[in-house]
């Protein structure tokens, strides 16, 4: 039930944003999100409200951490 889905922001207005979900457009609300999303951002949407912006940099950092972890491994062997 706490399912929340990333959706790409197409347009931002005062308290709503148009987002793309699998090719279909949809309007979501920005009442409870604490950062203002920009066009092109992915927002995490729950029950019609954006709750956060997906941080792509952090996504890369985590993946980089795996690579490091595995590289470390092969060196050790």
Partner 1 sequence: MTLKHISEYRDGEICKEIAKKIHVISQKKIRLMEVCGTHTMSISRNGIRSLLPKTITLLSGPGCPVCVTTPAEVDQWVKLARKKEVIVVTFGDLLRVPGSESSLGAERANGADIRVVYSPLDCLRIAQNNPGREVVFLGIGFETTAPTVAASLIEAKKSGLKNFSIISNHKLVPPALFALLENQKVKIDGFICPGHVSVIIGGQAYSSLVDKCQIPCVVAGFEPVDILQSIYLLASQIEAGRAELKIAYRRVVAFEGNEKARDIMYQVFDVCDRRWRGLGMIPESGLELKEEFYTFRAEERFDLSVPDAKDPPGCACGEILCGTKSPHECSLFGKSCRPDQPVGPCMVSSEGTCAAYYRYQQ
Contacts with partner 1 by CB under 8 A lie at 1-4, 6-8, 20-23, 29, 31-34, 42, 44, 46-49, 51-52, 54-56, 58-63, 66, 69-70, 73
**How far apart are the C-alpha atoms of 11 and 26, rounded to whole Å?**
10
**Alpha-carbon torsion angle 22, 8, 15, 59, nearest 10:** 130
- 12's tokens: 């931002």
């Amino acid at each position: 039930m706490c399912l929340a889905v990333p959706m790409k922001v197409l347009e931002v207005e005062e308290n709503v944003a148009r987002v793309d979900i699998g090719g279909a457009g949809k309007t979501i609300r920005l009442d409870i999100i604490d950062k203002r999303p920009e066009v092109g951002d992915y927002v995490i949407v729950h029950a019609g409200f954006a709750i956060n912006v997906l941080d792509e940099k952090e996504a890369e950092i985590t993946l980089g951490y795996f690579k490091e972890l595995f590289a470390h491994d092969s060196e050790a062997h």
